[in-house]
């Protein structure tokens, strides 16, 4: 398949991106609710990230996918904080243009680099564990969406849009 002009070299082509979105049942309506969710979640990104770091610390086998020892690498994790904020903002602003693709590609390359340790590469269960990161990120955002004052239907749609967007990011990061 032919690559788009100015597309990161390791990122999926546009047809693959469209297929992935379709497989996630991602729609224009999701874009609308994702933008709404972003306005609510962005001010709480540090709290969501703190909860996620707590989850990683409690599950050492997952922290291996960020660095060898999460406690020893807390300085490293702090350097990720601005990137997490940037990622959350980019995800919630939609998927038009190439700027979000460059960011997703950068994250994917960083994750690939981070899976190589002094002992060699981690086993090929990377997808299994990286995909488990979706649930805590989505779950830790729920209280903020639920407490936003939006009605129950809007809250559910924002939560679903956020879930699809986070899942889409993970699919992008693991692209070969």
What are the 10-residue block averages of pLDDT along the chain, 176 residues in total? 47 80 90 93 90 79 58 63 80 64 64 53 58 84 95 96 89 71
β-strand partners of 117: 120
pTM for the whole structure: 0.76
Domain locations along the chain: 14-173
Write out pLDDT tens, residues 110-147.
655 555 555 455 454 466 667 777 888 899 999 999 99
Domain 14-173: give its CATH architecture.
Orthogonal Bundle (1.10)
């Amino acid at each position: 398949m032919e690559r788009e002009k100015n597309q990161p070299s390791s990122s999926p082509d546009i047809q693959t991106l469209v297929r992935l979105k379709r497989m996630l049942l991602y729609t224009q309506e999701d874009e609308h609710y994702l933008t709404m969710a972003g306005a609510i979640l962005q001010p709480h990104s540090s709290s969501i990230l703190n909860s996620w770091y707590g989850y990683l610390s409690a599950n050492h086998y997952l922290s291996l996918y960020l660095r060898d020892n999460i406690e020893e690498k807390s300085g490293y994790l702090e350097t990720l904080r601005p990137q997490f904020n940037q990622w959350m903002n980019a995800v919630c602003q939609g998927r038009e243009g190439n700027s979000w693709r460059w960011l997703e590609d950068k994250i994917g390359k960083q994750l690939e680099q981070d899976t190589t340790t002094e002992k060699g590469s981690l086993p090929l269960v990377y997808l299994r564990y990286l995909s488990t990161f979706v649930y805590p990120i989505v779950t830790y955002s729920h209280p903020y969406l639920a407490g936003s004052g939006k009605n129950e239907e809007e809250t559910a749609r924002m939560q679903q849009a956020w879930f699809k967007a986070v899942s889409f990011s993970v699919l992008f990061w693991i692209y070969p």
